[in-house]
Structure 1
Amino acid sequence: MWTGRRLSRRLRRLLPRTLWWRAILIVVLPLVLLQLVLTLVFYNRHWDTVTSWLASAVAGEVAMAAEELDATRDREVRSAVLDRMRRHLGLAVSLEPGGRLEDMLRRIGADGSLFPRIDAKIREAFAEKLDRPFALDLRPGDPGRVAVYVQLSDGLLTVLVPRKRVTSTTTGILLAWMVGASLVLTALALHFMNLQIRPIRRLARAMDSFGKGRDVGAVPVRGPLEIRKAARAFNSMRRRIERFVQQRTEMLAALSHDLRTPLTRMRLELELLEDVDPEIRDGLRRDVDVMQRIVETYLAFARGEGSEQPEQVRLDDILRELVARTPADGVRIELAPMPPLELPLRPVAIRRALANLLDNAVRHARGTVRVAAARDGDRFEVLVDDDGPGIPPEEREHVFRPFHRLEPARGGEGASGLGLAIARDIVLAHGGDIRLLDSPLGGLRVRVELPA
């Protein structure tokens, strides 16, 4: 059972990975096998049979001539027999008086063949008709002729026979037709297969772009019935998601106004209070500021920058701008050298995500934050390292939850618990991902991956 599983895994590795090549394999492999079977059947049946018939007829003619020549010693009679063979049978014949078959075989050497099976059929046909020693020269040196040497009682008869008289000459034409027809059928199959695969590729590209937050529009409903159903389902899903995002954005815009107004009124009322202890008033003012910051952060997280469209931007320029504008608060921010990194992004959204990560690193670093970016194949990678207390591995997935805070090391006053949640939401909307790792500086490393 284990051997069968390993064999199955090896066979799966040998299969092409793409649907295009698998479809080609499904179409072409049976066609090749069919041609091989037809060739074998033709080679073993038709060609063998035709060759036996033709060779047997020529062998009978040579046997008859050998008997007539052996039956007389008269030179004129023998010349007449040879002349009739030349005129009526189309054979090139000669008689060498005193010639010996063994001497001729030594002169011509060992014979070879391009088609040993067919030449064996020719020898069998001559052996059935000739009752005297003979030899055949079937070497490919002169593919148009076959030499027959027959030992007579007083000499050696040499007969040169056109190759087409002892074997079928239409084999090459038939094979050419088979190969040509196979190529034409294969080309037609590949063309129609490409027509079937093209809608699948178009749908896959649309799904990939939509998953990266890019506006792809409606996918054309073309191709086979199953592909049309998939395209309609994708278009319907896309419309529902876009309608949901639009409704959520509109609702949050109204909610933003309703929440900001009472907070602004509370701030003004606090400023007008005169008979309140200043310490109490300052505490209430700080509470209002925290509430205002939480509301703004929550709205940004819930809105998700859904209305912004991607455009080609320089990621390295964004990182330089953020590093220059981020308050260091006594922390040294190092920006590693990086080449130009251009890719489709939502500029405002990606700035918000990277700013949250950089602010988070500066807030918890003891003295150093390091930022780097590079391209790795078809993806871009941004690294933000700090030398702070880090995050335990078992807590790293939880910190992406909204309003989740770590206490006391990486939590604290001023943190809304939404920074990493917003960053991941934006990065995922771009088709990327965020991972938290151990930093070489001793703290936390945030790795952001974005598709090219």
Structure 2
Amino acid sequence: MRRPIDSLFGRLVVLVIGVLVLSHVAWFAVIRVERDQTQTRYAVEEATFLVDAVRQHIANSPDQPLPSSVHVVAPTSPDVPRPIADADTDRVPPPFARFIDDLRDRLPDGTDVRVSEPGGPPSLWVRGARDANWIVVPVQPLRPPRSRDRMLLWLAIIFTTAVMAALLAAWQLQTPLRSLAQAVGRFGRGEPTPAVPERGPRELRQLTHGFNQMVREVAQAESDRAVMLAGVAHDLKTPLARLRLRAEMMEEAKLRDGVVRDVDSMAHIVDQFLVFAHDGTDRSEPVEVDQQCERVARSYRAVAPGGQPIRTRLAAGRGFALPAATLDRLLSNLLDNAHAYGAPPIEIETLRAANGWVLRVTDNGGGIAAQDLVKASRPFVRLDPARGGSGHSGLGLAIVDRLVRRVGGECDIRNREEGGLQVAMTFPFDIVAKAADQLHVDGVLKHA
């Protein structure tokens, strides 16, 4: 099961959103603290200014009335509040206590600052060393009413914009990486791999350039090897034909039969070289796999009536279709390999699995040693040294693997638990659907 968090884009999304959430929460906390401190400083300055203004008014214009919110009270009045105690937190909350401390620091030394008793309008009582009376001024709220919703709205807008911009940047960063990963997957499956556009950061462009160069060099090496094999195999066909003709003209039957067998083995090896060197797309008409498998099995039984039995379990149906030449080469190589190194019965099976159509060929022989399974599909590798000289070049399973990958499938070679070798070829539904559609169109045209 694919999880979004496993992809580069998913992890970038989590990283970006996490960093933005932390940064915005920290920014919001800093703004709140700084705003509270700023408001406290403004309140202290405002209270200091108001007390100084009242003093100047008393000194300069004692006959003029004071504003209704400001009073002057005699020290002997019973309304004078008691001094502020440290344990008096119900009367003076901690933020207000810090405000009183800051106000005392701002006023001249010796100034007494008190707060009105609870139950009435909050007011500030101030009396300096030279003041004859208490100056009573209203207390401004340290945290005036403000629209917190508006601040949160702006925070949400900024956060959303930042997330969208970051996700766009992350998407642009991972798009070339995804293209490169897809190209690497195609290259690993042996499929044609076009050049990947070199875009993105400098390091990514360098990586893409190196990959494109590697693909070109590998393709050139494959092309050179294919040309060499095809040329050698083609040039050997004519002398082999002449050698067979001369061998059949030999008078001694035993010697003639031995030479003919050797020539046939060499011709088979040359044919394998040609098939392996062929690197073009199979343009033959698609056929139904079940029908073709049954047809090939009947032909093998007809050629060798007393040979190893071939069983079929064909359950794929009409939707499973492959190019005729590719399917014939797959079956012929696998059946030849099973006849040469396996044991009866040999079974051809088709079915529809969850991940695609499956073509499976099994035998009941000794299988392949566990340490040699990895090398089974490599070209020119003989898993049994005694197999040389019997018309086998170590290309049978390599040809099967190459043909399967060429049409977009996957080949799995393993030993069965009950004994014998199993070669399972899986073809994705979307790839097979193209061949099935072509088969349907051809069938309609033929009947038209």
| TM-score, length of structure 1 as denominator length | 0.63
Alpha-carbon distance between aligned partners in 2 of 1:186 and 1:339, rounded to the nearest angstrom: 51
Measured after TM superposition, the shift of residue 260 of structure 1 is 0.5
- 2:256 is matched with which residue? 281
1:364-392 Cα offsets, whole Å, 9 max, x none, are 33235242344344x66543222334344
Residues 362 and 369 in structure 1, CA contact (< 8 A), matched pair in contact too: no
Residues 265 and 392 in structure 2, CA contact (< 8 A), matched pair in contact too: no
Residues 212 and 428 in structure 1, CA contact (< 8 A), matched pair in contact too: yes
Measured after TM superposition, the shift of residue 56 of structure 1 is 11
CA shift in 2, pair 1:309/1:359, >3 Å:
closer
- 2:88 is matched with which residue? none
Question: In structure 2, the residue corresponding to 1:404 is in which secondary structure?
Answer: coil
- 1:242 is matched with which residue? 219
Measured after TM superposition, the shift of residue 420 of structure 1 is 2.1
- 2:296 is matched with which residue? 325
CA shift in 2, pair 1:439/1:413, >3 Å:
farther
Alpha-carbon distance between aligned partners in 1 of 2:141 and 2:122, rounded to the nearest angstrom: 18
Greater Cα offset, 327-336 or 255-264: 327-336
CA shift in 2, pair 1:122/1:399, >3 Å:
same
1:201-227 Cα offsets, whole Å, 9 max, x none, are 122222222333333432222222222
1:386-422 Cα offsets, whole Å, 9 max, x none, are 23343443454455453625488x9995655432232
Measured after TM superposition, the shift of residue 325 of structure 1 is 1.1
Alpha-carbon distance between aligned partners in 1 of 2:330 and 2:365, rounded to the nearest angstrom: 20
Alpha-carbon distance between aligned partners in 1 of 2:186 and 2:118, rounded to the nearest angstrom: 82
2:117 maps to 1:132: yes
Measured after TM superposition, the shift of residue 261 of structure 1 is 0.8
- 2:336 is matched with which residue? 359
CA shift in 2, pair 1:22/1:297, >3 Å:
same
- Contiguous gaps of at least 5 residues in structure 1: 1-13, 62-80, 89-118, 136-147, 151-160
Measured after TM superposition, the shift of residue 259 of structure 1 is 0.4
Measured after TM superposition, the shift of residue 432 of structure 1 is 3.1
Alpha-carbon distance between aligned partners in 1 of 2:320 and 2:283, rounded to the nearest angstrom: 12
1:286-337 Cα offsets, whole Å, 9 max, x none, are 2211111122123323x1x3222699978xx335413421314451412241
2:191 maps to 1:232: no
Alpha-carbon distance between aligned partners in 2 of 1:226 and 1:312, rounded to the nearest angstrom: 45
- 1:192 is matched with which residue? 169
- 1:438 is matched with which residue? 416
- 1:169 is matched with which residue? 146
- 1:208 is matched with which residue? 185
Alpha-carbon distance between aligned partners in 2 of 1:176 and 1:332, rounded to the nearest angstrom: 75
Alpha-carbon distance between aligned partners in 1 of 2:223 and 2:176, rounded to the nearest angstrom: 29
CA shift in 2, pair 1:25/1:120, >3 Å:
same
Alpha-carbon distance between aligned partners in 2 of 1:168 and 1:428, rounded to the nearest angstrom: 72
2:18 maps to 1:29: yes
Measured after TM superposition, the shift of residue 167 of structure 1 is 2.1
Query: Which residue identity lines up with residue 259 of structure 2 in the other structure?
Result: L
CA shift in 2, pair 1:372/1:245, >3 Å:
same
2:29 maps to 1:40: yes
Alpha-carbon distance between aligned partners in 2 of 1:20 and 1:355, rounded to the nearest angstrom: 46
RMSD over aligned CA atoms reads: 4.4
Residues 308 and 343 in structure 2, CA contact (< 8 A), matched pair in contact too: no
- 1:296 is matched with which residue? 271
Question: In structure 2, the residue corresponding to 1:134 is in which secondary structure?
Answer: coil
CA shift in 2, pair 1:203/1:252, >3 Å:
same
CA shift in 2, pair 1:342/1:52, >3 Å:
farther
- 2:74 is matched with which residue? none
1:343-373 Cα offsets, whole Å, 9 max, x none, are 9x87744652343223333553323524234
Aligned residues: 353
CA shift in 2, pair 1:216/1:257, >3 Å:
closer
Residues 331 and 365 in structure 1, CA contact (< 8 A), matched pair in contact too: no
- 2:103 is matched with which residue? none
CA shift in 2, pair 1:251/1:388, >3 Å:
closer
Alpha-carbon distance between aligned partners in 2 of 1:169 and 1:295, rounded to the nearest angstrom: 90
Greater Cα offset, 282-291 or 208-217: 208-217
Alpha-carbon distance between aligned partners in 2 of 1:235 and 1:25, rounded to the nearest angstrom: 31
Alpha-carbon distance between aligned partners in 2 of 1:200 and 1:403, rounded to the nearest angstrom: 36
- 1:182 is matched with which residue? 159
Residues 47 and 168 in structure 1, CA contact (< 8 A), matched pair in contact too: no
Percent sequence identity is 27
Alpha-carbon distance between aligned partners in 1 of 2:282 and 2:36, rounded to the nearest angstrom: 70
Alpha-carbon distance between aligned partners in 2 of 1:236 and 1:134, rounded to the nearest angstrom: 86
Report 1:250-269 matches (<5 A): 250-269=227-246
Alpha-carbon distance between aligned partners in 2 of 1:134 and 1:57, rounded to the nearest angstrom: 24
Alpha-carbon distance between aligned partners in 2 of 1:309 and 1:212, rounded to the nearest angstrom: 17
Query: Which residue identity lines up with residue 282 of structure 1 in the other structure?
Result: D
Question: In structure 1, the residue corresponding to 2:349 is in which secondary structure?
Answer: strand
Query: Which residue identity lines up with residue 27 of structure 2 in the other structure?
Result: L
Correspondent of 2:6 among 9, 17, 39: 17
- 2:435 is matched with which residue? none
Measured after TM superposition, the shift of residue 169 of structure 1 is 0.6
Residues 398 and 404 in structure 1, CA contact (< 8 A), matched pair in contact too: no
